[in-house]
A and B are shown apart, each in its own frame.
Chain A
Amino acid sequence: DSGVTQTPKHLITATGQRVTLRCSPRSGDLSVYWYQQSLDQGLQFLIQYYNGEERAKGNILERFSAQQFPDLHSELNLSSLELGDSALYFCASSVIPGPNEKLFFGSGTQLSVL
């Protein structure tokens, strides 16, 4: 158990809908990262937060947004969903941000857009 909690584990929805994925980082970790893993793809970095502030942005679509709350949990909002958004979404956390920081991953949310 990495200590990172993601909910829900599975989500099935329809095109055009909006969903929210939730992540609770390990106790004491201030930095949260979101990654997307599509079929046969590596983990694609979406966005990073540190202590409530956006720290880095990767290949995140404009239809997607995220935030980190004062209690350090984070939410990833996906809107106007398309079939291609079906993927496994991982949240990870680390104590501090940094390229050499070991990341602790949650078990992911499997999103299926039908």
Chain B
Amino acid sequence: DQQVKQNSPSLSVQEGRISILNCDYTNSMFDYFLWYKKYPAEGPTFLISISSIKDKNEDGRFTVFLNKSAKHLSLHIVPSQPGDSAVYFCAASSQTGANNLFFGTGTRLTVIP
């Protein structure tokens, strides 16, 4: 049972435009959310996170939005750059649950120069 879902396996965006990656979750106990980025032949690297007490967190070109009522979060990248081309994983955890992250299946972002 996939508790974290990324329904878009891939996304293509022109350089300079906005990239929006979406993620849905089913477990209402999740209270901390993260995005990881993965380049080929490398492990995932942490990108940005958000606690459930917030609805937005921004770090440079990257902003994560959380809609708790809809159990939905999104990652916005503005402006998109060719170096952003990678697979993006959404992950969620619960303070009251086991000490592990639940990952989505990833979205492959391609930024076209």
Which residues of A approach B to under 8 Å, CB–CB?
Answer: 2, 4, 33, 35, 40-45, 48, 55-58, 90, 92, 97-108
Contact = CB atoms under 8 A, between A and B. Distances in A.
Which bracket fits the contact residues of B?
20 to 34
Contacts of A48: 99-100
A104 B42 CA distance: 11
B82 to A, nearest CB: 22
Contacts, number: 73
Contacts of A44: 103
Given A42-B105, A43-B103, A99-B94, 20 more contacts: A33-B100, A40-B105, A42-B2, A42-B104, A42-B106, A43-B44, A43-B89, A43-B91, A44-B103, A45-B100, A58-B98, A58-B100, A90-B43, A98-B99, A99-B99, A100-B32, A103-B46, A104-B46, A107-B42, A107-B43
